[in-house]
Structure 1
Amino acid sequence: MDPAIFHPDFKSRPYWWDAIDMSNDAPADLPARADVVIIGGGLTGLNCAIELGRGGAHAVVLEAEALGCGASTRNGGGVSGGNSIGKGLSGAKGRSAGGADAIIAAMIGDAAESLTHIESIVARENIACFYERTGRFIGAFTPKHYAGMSGRIAMLNDVAEADAHMVPRDQQREEMASDYYYGGMVINRTSKIHPALYHRGLMDAARRHGATLLGQTRAGALTRLADGWRVETNRGPIEAREVVIATNGYTGGLTPDLKRRLIPVASHIIATEVLDPALAASLIPKKRTLADSRRVLCYYRMSPDGTRVIFGGRARFTQVSPEVSAPLLHAMMLDRWPQLKGVRVTHAWTGNVAFAFDHLPHMGQTEKGLHYALGCNGSGVAILSYLGAEIGKKILGNANKVPAFDGRNFPTRPFYSGTPWFLPAIGTWYRFRDWLDRRLA
């Protein structure tokens, strides 16, 4: 490894894991029966288990690896509030009074509610996870992107109550110590979190509400019974009235019909060594999370203690080693902050996000009756926490409304089986388009 980039104490694992014990507790005994079996021990599954437990139902959560080993503890810790919903949709019918499409407006409203859900559960369950509503700055990669943001801001403020405003380029240094972008948008109704501590807080809350959490317990065949389901596992069978699929970017052959509706995309992140305090304090004066409008997205922030940069993006669209991803992300970081030249990387890691073909989250039930919440599209901390809880309410019969994401058509493509062989080509095309857009800016 290049000593100019990699710190001598470099770890090929998430920076967030330094705050937790990834070994988890020893697995509990597998019950013979539960009210609900949840397959997937991430944010979706745990929020569902908590809601079920609050309603008096016994949930058993199955995780094939260590609890929290997936994207739930690998993400960048940004918590959106509906601002990313609907970008891929423009042709639906029925305009709302605020000018947004009525269907998209309902989705954005629910996505905005997901931020409220995060804040409620963190407060109610007393989860110490460095939750802060400090807002987000989205940098415009080109003047055209800035104009597009300007055209979207009224709808975000109307429907998502985003408290958003535009920042012209000559005021950009109020948001970040860089001239890299052509201005951008501030969305105040967003936040950030320590994802691993949030996940651990959810685990503790789920157990307090009666859930059984089983790491190292891989689900196998699913058999429909007269009164529910039989789930085979590597530790024996379990029966339940309902089954929830909460596997998102790790959805596999257990549910092939859901797998072929999702595109797993790798997202890569680095953490820098501890910075000089004055330099660290200067990078993001208002302590926001940062992102941009490129096709090959970057997202970044300071660590909760404000000492180092956490920088993520699509260094590659597929899984690659830190030796490949870290230098690419390091170079992207220097493009934005040349003053970080010479700063080394202490951690590099990757995890899968799941994109849907319509760029929307999906909640519903399969033809056989399996519940699911899938398709975070890169913004899963809030929306999948929210949809997990909504599935719990739905199973209990406690939902006071049907979420806009529930029961919608969940598209796929002919001949697609869930293996995204086309991602390297798409990544190359996106990088070329980003380069061309910048050249023409």
Structure 2
Amino acid sequence: MLPFCNQPHAASYYAATVNDTTRYPSLEGSIDADVCVIGAGLTGVSAALNLAERGYSVAVLEASKVGWAASGRNGGQMIGGFACDIDTFAQYMNEGEVRQIWDMGLETLAIVKERVAKHNIDCALMPGYLTAANKPRDVLALQHWRDEAARRFGYEGFRYVEASEMGTYVQSSRYLGGLFDPDSGHLHPLNYTLGLARAAAQNGVRLFEDSCVTRLVNANGGHVVETARGSVRAKFVVLACNTYLGALAPDVARKIMPVGTYVIATEPLGDARAQALMPAQAAVCDSRFVLDYFRPAPDTRLLWGGKVSYSTLAPRNLGEAMRRDMLKTFPQLANVKIDYAWGGFVDITMNRAPHFGRIAPTVYFAQGFSGHGVNTTGLAGKLIAEAIHGQASRFDLFGKIRHRDFPGGSALRTPALVLAMAWYRMKDWLG
């Protein structure tokens, strides 16, 4: 059995505070659907919900549990735009198309907020996101981006926070300033994913857990998606597997890389201490390449993420290693215990731009969210539904981006990236 099949959720703070314990059956026997979605993370359930709202019959096959992978383990930071620089898109598009991409980057946030409100998803959605500057050069870069967003796209939402004001967001002397985005924010990602799945089921989507796909076969102008105990016959297939795509589409899988990222949750700090630590209750990330990110939880814990690893190996003594990193920013938490420590893989592309496309006219995929998956997945699901419904212009805009395979093949790409990560860590240290 593959290591990602038939598995429980990671022992995380999110799993411990889940508010929907619905379990879905495994697939038994053969069924028919207009669309078969493989993967019940945020991309898959978003695509399924959007398709069901357009009148399609949809079956979703999940190897383990809804939200089992990155969708239910990530840092919960909802970041507008995309992980790459906006000029990554400009290499392949005219300025009008780049503006469309910019607008869709803002749309990713609107989709999350609309879904939470429409479906009454209890996921502790909170507004506010701050990028904190570690070095003087980062101050200039953040100020430049604020000015460029206003000049180029007419976006006036960013506010630069001077060092003297940083205490409003984070009680730490580590940072030299920051860029605040009121439209971005943070949430409980597992509860959000489960809420979307519940909404999809209420709209007629059939969800199946513990149903690991073993083979995808073309048959009679359509597709047969096989599991150990059943199959789905469908006109369209959506691959929403990200780092677990593997043998189902190896040519596509070579264009993403699994990256380990890790999170700890402190014990509850109490209202007064939590409010003093992060008065604005916004999510924060720093400006380094190998970054830290953190946010408050509703029960007054601090969630701290980082230790990004390209080796696919979790740090030794994960909780203590993460705690040491946390204390570099918050030495005042030296007496605070760590209640949870967990991790998992997110997928990145070489250029950090999202990778959307088709491997056949009726087989769609979306991957490569590169750390922006909480909200960009919602856009992916919406665009896939538009494309299947015959309105593919927005989906195909992302197809203009050229994505390269990671070098080294399956054997050497991880060691090569470990070396690259060491180089970027050194740059972070040296300034």
Taking structure 1 as the reference length, what is the TM-score of the superposition?
0.88
Task: Please tell me the residue identity of whatever aligns with 2:137.
Answer: K
The residue type equivalent to 1:58 in the other structure is: S
What one-letter code is carried by the residue in structure 2 that aligns with 1:62? L
Give the distance between the partners of 2:398 and 2:90, measured in 1 at CA. 17
Change (3 A) 1:323 1:249: same
Report deviation, 1:163.
0.6
Structure-to-structure mapping, 1:294-313, within 5 angstroms: 294-305=288-299, 307-313=300-306
State the one-letter code of the partner of 2:31. Answer: A
Aligned residue for 1:290, secondary structure, equals: strand
CA distance in 1, matches of 2:270, 2:205: 44
Identify which range, 259-268 or 84-93, moves more after superposition: 84-93
Residues 360-417 of structure 1 show CA distances to partners (whole Å, capped at 9, x for unaligned) of 0121112464201111111101001211121012112256744632453232245434
Q: 1:356 aligns with which of 337, 344, 349?
A: 349
| Aligned-pair CA distance for 1:426 | 2.5
* Equivalence map 1:114-263=2 (5 Å): 114-133=108-127, 135-157=128-150, 159=153, 161=155, 163-263=157-257
Structure 2: which amino acid aligns with 1:375? G
Q: In 2, distance between residues paired with 1:324 and 1:91?
A: 43
Q: Name the CA shift for 1:248/1:115 in 2 (closer, same or farther; >3 Å).
A: same
Which has the larger displacement, 162-171 or 67-76? 162-171
CA contact (8 A) 2:82 2:376 kept: no
The one-character-per-residue Cα deviations of 1:73-124 (angstroms, maximum 9, x if unpaired) are 101111111164426738737885xxxxx55443222111111111111122
- 1:58 — aligned with what? 57
Residue identity in the other structure for 2:414: P
Say yes or no: does 1:43 pair with 2:37.
Answer: no
Q: Deviations over 1:130-186 (max 9, x none)?
A: 2222x1111111000110111111233453836101112122112210110111111
Residue 372 of structure 2 corresponds to which residue in structure 1? 379
* Matched residue SS, 2:160: strand
Take 1:110 and 1:186, find their aligned partners in 2: how far apart are those partners? 20
CA distance in 1, matches of 2:228, 2:39: 15
Gaps of 5+ in 2: 1-8
Partner of 1:34: 33
Letter in structure 2 aligned against 1:78: Q
Corresponding residue of 2:4: none
Identity of aligned residues (%): 30
Is 1:431 the counterpart of 2:416 in the alignment? no
Q: How many residues align?
A: 420
Q: Distance in 1 between matches of 2:10 and 2:93?
A: 49
**What does residue 272 of structure 2 align with?**
278
Matches within 5 A, 1:384-395: 384-395=377-388
Amino acid corresponding to residue 212 of structure 2 in structure 1? R
Contact 2:295 2:304 in 1 (8 A): yes
> For the residues of structure 2 that align with 1:400 and 1:259, how far apart are their CA atoms?
24
| Deviation sequence 1:207-226 (CA, Å, 0-9, x none) | 01111111111112212223
Tell which deviates more after alignment, 426-435 or 281-290: 426-435
Distance change >3 Å, CA 56–CA 368, structure 1 → 2: closer
Mapped partners of 1:57, 1:184: distance in 2: 45
Between stretches 15-24 and 329-338, larger displacement belongs to 15-24
Structure 2 vs 1, CA of residues 385 and 90 (structure 1 numbering), >3 Å: closer, same or farther?
closer
Instruction: Give the 3 Å change call, closer, same or farther, for CA 207–91 of structure 1 in structure 2.
Output: closer
More helix by share: 2
Which residue of the other structure, out of 258, 275, 280, is the alignment partner of 1:264?
258
- Contact 1:83–1:162, Cα closer than 8 Å, also in 2: no
- For the Cα contact (< 8 Å) 1:81–1:115, is it kept in 2? yes
Amino acid at match of 2:62: E
Q: Which stretches in structure 1 are left out of the alignment for 5+ residues?
A: 1-10, 97-101
Relative to structure 1, is the Cα distance of residues 193 and 431 closer, same or farther in structure 2, using a 3 angstrom cutoff? same
**Residues 1:68 and 2:62 aligned together:** no
Deviates more, 1:135-144 or 1:24-33: 24-33
Matches of 1:256 and 1:365, distance apart in 2 = 13
